[in-house]
Amino acid sequence: MFDVPVGQGPVHITLLMGPRTARPVPAEVTEALLSAQITATAGERSGFQLAFDLTKNGIIGRRLLPEGFFDPKTRLVVTVNVRGTTAVLFDGLVVRQEVGASNQPGHSTLTVTGEDLSLLLDLEERTTSYPNLSPSERVLAILRRYADYGIRPDVYREKIAQPPHQNLRVHYQTGTDLQYVTELARANGYTFYLEPGPTAGRSSARWGPEVRLGVRQHALNVNMDAHSTVDQLTFAYDGTAREEPQARWQDPGTRRSTLLPQPAISPLRPALGARPTPALKRRTLPGTAKHQREQAEAELLARAAVSADVVSGSGSLDVNRHGYILQPRQLVGVRGAGRAYDGDYYVKSVTHNLRPGSYQQNFTLSREGLEARSDYVRP
């Protein structure tokens, strides 16, 4: 749905709300919407902020607010339709409301703020054991608890197999589901996030490597006169961002400590740049000596992968001018930035800014090296 051109058509926003199952809101609520801001970032919880015109005798202030229509934990789904193409931008829960009362007519507002459905995983602390379950199996067991909200697990096996050894250690969860799932993701060089859609009321919970393979989104063109599709694009190269982690492991039989070999990060982070950057920092990971060897190797791989990206980019675009809705957590090509910075990037974050007659996006990009790996960038 994000791959369909939007052209120069009007943008229509649809809001659905409800205690658990979201349904279309009254027409007066949609008409009162002043602005919508939605942010999705790799490895972090997505969030939204909606502003409504709080007319003195309108339905929002007269009936909906007192009846709890916008109360915390109310589910909210935001979809956008551009020239007949519908995309789900957000599926989450209200966490806060603010009323700004003004003496001037038409200046009173209701601001509603919320987070995506991963908030559900962060509401209750648990003490649970997972005997004889690998990390990915533990994540699957946790995510199945939230099937009633239309959350579909999208769980990948860990790159370094970590078979459970119940006679040596039983794994325990002592925090919230979100804390534990995120901890397991980081220990394996993975990311965890919820992706709304493809239809309203459905979302996928991805626990796995970042999406750095597959079809690229339509390219971002800069400094190309009439062919430019972004308003601005700025790049930075931080040489201190990449680290070379080191990990020691102690053989429980001989008590001999050895330095684990440096892993190749390509299974987690396929190279996007032709010229990789060297690591300027070295850091010894704490606590790996007493872990199982497979767990120590996984943590070493994870740390090496997480610190790999040293090139970042940021910019903004008008969706009608670009012609497509830029999707976060996937790949996109860049053209017109010069030999060093052209090529493919991972879309780290996207902020959707919607107002009547306007659809703007702010975005950040990242990759591990300079120069494009291919002479061809998808149009």
Residue 379 counted as domain residue? no
Q: Strand 273-276 and strand 369-372: pairing? A: antiparallel
pLDDT in tens, 141-157: 999 999 999 999 999 99
Residue 145 counted as domain residue? yes
Nearest to 2 by CA among 378, 324, 334, 321: 324
Based on the domain organization, do 250 and 201 belong to the same domain? no
Residue 168 counted as domain residue? yes
The separation between CA 2 and the C-alpha centre of its own chain, rounded to angstroms, equals: 16
CATH number of domain containing 180: 3.55.50.10
Q: For residue 167, what pLDDT is reported?
A: 63
What mean pLDDT is predicted for residues 196-213?
94
Looking at residue 7, its amino acid is: G
Residue 68 counted as domain residue? no
Residue 11 counted as domain residue? no
User: For residue 83, what are its two tokens?
Assistant: 């020239």
Domain end (from 188, 208, 228): 208
- Which of 11-15, 74-78, 138-142, 146-150 has the lowest average pLDDT? 11-15
If one counts the domains in the chain, the total is 2
Q: Strand 217-221 and strand 331-335: pairing? A: parallel
User: For residue 21, what are its two tokens?
Assistant: 């199952």
**What is the distance between the alpha carbons of residues 247 and 287, in angstroms, rounded to a whole number?**
9
**What is the distance between the alpha carbons of residues 164 and 170, in angstroms, rounded to a whole number?**
8
Based on the domain organization, do 134 and 188 belong to the same domain? yes
Residue 163 has pLDDT above 90, yes or no: no
Based on the domain organization, do 247 and 204 belong to the same domain? no
User: For residue 101, what are its two tokens?
Assistant: 């009362």
Domain end (from 282, 306, 330): 306
User: Residue 187 is part of which domain span?
Assistant: 122-208
Residue 283 counted as domain residue? yes
Based on the domain organization, do 126 and 184 belong to the same domain? yes
Residue 165 counted as domain residue? yes
Judged by DSSP in three states, 119 sits in: helix
Please count the other Cβ atoms lying within 10 Å of the Cβ belonging to residue 257.
Answer: 10
Domain end (from 161, 187, 208): 208
pLDDT in tens, 234-291: 999 998 888 888 988 888 888 888 899 888 888 888 999 999 888 888 888 888 887 8
Based on the domain organization, do 204 and 249 belong to the same domain? no
